[in-house]
Structure 1
């Protein structure tokens, strides 16, 4: 039996998982980064729902060459329970959007991270936001938890979180307390007033879910000098982004958040590969046809 060639390239594997997943731009972003870094890694989009997640993770553990997973909705909370370890921030949030897969010699070890936090903070910083004195988060799910952490990273001391059922989002208050940020849960009927008084708004709602609120803002004659980050990027501009822009505000597309968190994912998947973060970000921008950041 011939000896294996030690110089033969090893093909690594990574993927984004979620449901639905067909719209994801992550394969374009990661492929561009790996070409730049000369890393031999395939990256695909795989449809995985909550019912099939356990089986998928078992398959990852038993298959060779996995380096990482990007995790999107609706799997972020469930994945936090399936990894072997999580970094401190992911433990606080209870939400994982990035899984690093390593072979420790005795089998695969899965470590959870949350790069959405870096994505939120860096997207806002790139738009000129250096602090948030009157911050509002729309929605109460896993991405809202990352938004709270991103605001804390920017030095915010408080945030109003607008949700349909405050009792179901009580965990966000605990997260805020652990991160040194006071969270005030506000019922959805107050969304319009909350947005109009804010200097930074982060919408974590699914595509089109904020359309009725956008109509309410337009009808009210809304004016603002604030900044909106809408994590939904398809379709773009969203109705709420268009309303914010026409009212005089600054809009930050969710694609910016996706770009910044993807740069961090590449670093985590291949920590031993020298990386120029600005260079990686620029080739990712080119891959999806947006101006370099």
Structure 2
């Protein structure tokens, strides 16, 4: 029987995860049917309760706005997800007592690998745009990269609970700052991670373009549709290096595929995954 996997989120039709996963499973010769399922936060408990062990599920990719809500729907959370309270992956593990649903956060590994490939040094002077679920993974990734402190730019400090909880969990000092100060703060950073939704940083791009040109660091924009984003274009125009959001998606998917299938995801598999989404190779 085919095993089943899916990506969950709302909205979800734009997701590139199906292309990445299907390409990998085809290359690996694995019979895993990977689908797209639109699920809201309100509907998540009922959806998870409806999953039947007899349907042969092996994994779920979890995107916004479900990353925090999914924690309550699994039997166990391991690794970074256990500290952050945010997961983007559910692996179904067979045990003597039945199937266990185990949560993971592979976004952290995805961010670290993507920015290292772009030449980010250890202990980067860092900034994050946005304070939601993906910012939690960004904070954990910056901790892994040795950052001493991070400025987190948000529109509403009252909605940055996930960022504050992540910082406390990993022991990284953060300073919450208003988004109005972001352009100037970004200009002096070695590494900026934008966790904002598509087009949400367009106004900030205009502010960046108005600043004097000069050498800048690395920008990872996790929003990959449309691409290039306005903020990515503004960053390049100032001499900076941009990491495509699809690179993060690629490397977090590599970890998911290992968890779902137990397979070794080698360079030739990553090649076909890149081809599936039109992503040029860099450094893996």
* TM-score tier after normalising by the smaller chain length: over 0.9
The 8 Å contact of residues 263 and 280 in structure 1, kept in 2 or not, is answered as no
Is structure 2 residue 273 aligned with structure 1 residue 284?
yes
Q: Please point out which of 223, 228, 231 is paired with 1:237.
A: 228
Provide the TM-score with structure 1 as the length reference: 0.92
What residue number does 1:6 align with? none
Distance 1:55 1:174, change over 3 A: closer
Using the TM superposition, give the Cα deviation of residue 291 of structure 1 relative to its aligned residue in structure 2, in angstroms: 1.9
- Matched pairs, number: 282
Summarize the alignment of residues 108-257 of structure 1 with structure 2, pairs less than 5 Å apart. 108-257=99-248
SS in structure 1 of the partner of residue 152 of structure 2: strand
What residue number does 1:5 align with? none
Provide the TM-score with structure 2 as the length reference: 0.95
The 8 Å contact of residues 188 and 216 in structure 2, kept in 1 or not, is answered as no
Distance 1:259 1:171, change over 3 A: closer
The 8 Å contact of residues 173 and 184 in structure 1, kept in 2 or not, is answered as no
Runs of 5+ consecutive residues of structure 1 not aligned to the other structure: 1-9
Runs of 5+ consecutive residues of structure 2 not aligned to the other structure: none
Using the TM superposition, give the Cα deviation of residue 89 of structure 1 relative to its aligned residue in structure 2, in angstroms: 1.4
The 8 Å contact of residues 61 and 107 in structure 1, kept in 2 or not, is answered as no
SS in structure 1 of the partner of residue 198 of structure 2: coil
Using the TM superposition, give the Cα deviation of residue 172 of structure 1 relative to its aligned residue in structure 2, in angstroms: 2.5
Is structure 2 residue 56 aligned with structure 1 residue 65?
yes
Q: Distance in 2 between matches of 1:56 and 1:268?
A: 21
Is structure 2 residue 255 aligned with structure 1 residue 267?
no
Is structure 2 residue 7 aligned with structure 1 residue 20?
no
The 8 Å contact of residues 196 and 222 in structure 1, kept in 2 or not, is answered as no
**Deviation >6 Å, runs of 4+:** none
Aligned CA RMSD, in angstroms, stands at 1.5
Q: Distance in 1 between matches of 2:29 and 2:239?
A: 43
